[in-house]
Amino acid sequence: MPLSEPAAETPVLWDSLSWPELAALIEGGLDTVMLPVGATEQHGPHLPLGMDTLAALAVTHGASARTGIPVLPPISVGCSLGHTARWPGTLSLRPGTLARVVTDIAEWLHESGIRRLVMINGHVTNHAPLRCALEEIRHDFRDMRVALRSLWDLSPDIHAAYHDDAVNFHANRAETALVMAVRPDLVRLDLATDQPDRGRDAVFSYRVDQETASGVVGIPTLATVPEGEALVEGCITALVDLLDRARLERPPIDMEEPR
């Protein structure tokens, strides 16, 4: 898919395509896809359980609409073992289960002719299992490239925005603003409670129930719609840039690769 191709106007969703439509794209040079990975877990009294999936979808769909890179169906239940039964609603895969889901999917992407997989992660503790999957995929499929980016790592500015009020942020100002921008109907800002990041300098990685009583770490009451809109736009822009480079990137050392 040449860079000069005019951008799609709507996201290209892998599961909305028929197989001949996908075959035609691959025939035309497509070999890159995005995999959004979210979570289903408590996000304080004011945000929906699906916040992380929602964020990963908003950003990947936005980038797909501008680049035509397809988005795979999201992984909606991630690894949220740090949460506990104190707050109902959290669902979690074991780290090994999540990694296995991704490697199983990668095997079939490879079968379909995809060679560049960009995982866009919306939840902190998904990172390690996804990275384990990355290690296995690039080892087992020598011609497969894999990238893993969490939303907050898409640019230095975005990183700063996410961590502004908390290092171990959760349902904080940035996350709240993001949902206010994309699904305002799911935010109850009147119920938001702030909690300082008491664990930011901790030696140990505590569970969330050891860090907060409300489920919040950060200052969500400061969130506004405009900053949420700016955050989403910033993420999409950064991801589009990443994808533009991804489509053409060659390895630092350029060896012939089996197709």
Q: Which stretch binds a second copy (CB under 8 A): 18-26, 150-158, 159-167, 226-234?
A: 18-26
Burial of 76 (0-12, 13-18, 19+ CB in 10 A): middle
- Beta carbon of residue 35, minimum distance to a second copy (angstroms, whole number): 10
Please identify, using beta-carbon distances, which residue of 47 and 230 lies nearer to a second copy. 47
Q: Least distance (Å) from a second copy to the CB of residue 7? A: 19
Lay out the site mask for a second copy across 49-88 (x = CB under 8 A, - = otherwise): xx--xx-----------------xxx-xx-x-xx-xx-xx
Examine residue 227 and tell whether it contacts a second copy (CB under 8 A). no
| Residues 52 and 147 sit within 8 Å (Cβ to Cβ) | no
Q: How far is the CB of 231 from a second copy (least distance, A)?
A: 20
Please list every residue from 167 through 186 that binds a second copy, using CB under 8 A.
Answer: 186
> Which amino acid does the sequence have at 175?
E
Whether the CA torsion 121, 39, 87, 188 is positive or negative: it is positive
**Region 83-122 residues binding a second copy, contact defined as CB under 8 A:** 84-85, 87-97, 99-101, 104-105, 108-109, 111-113, 116, 118
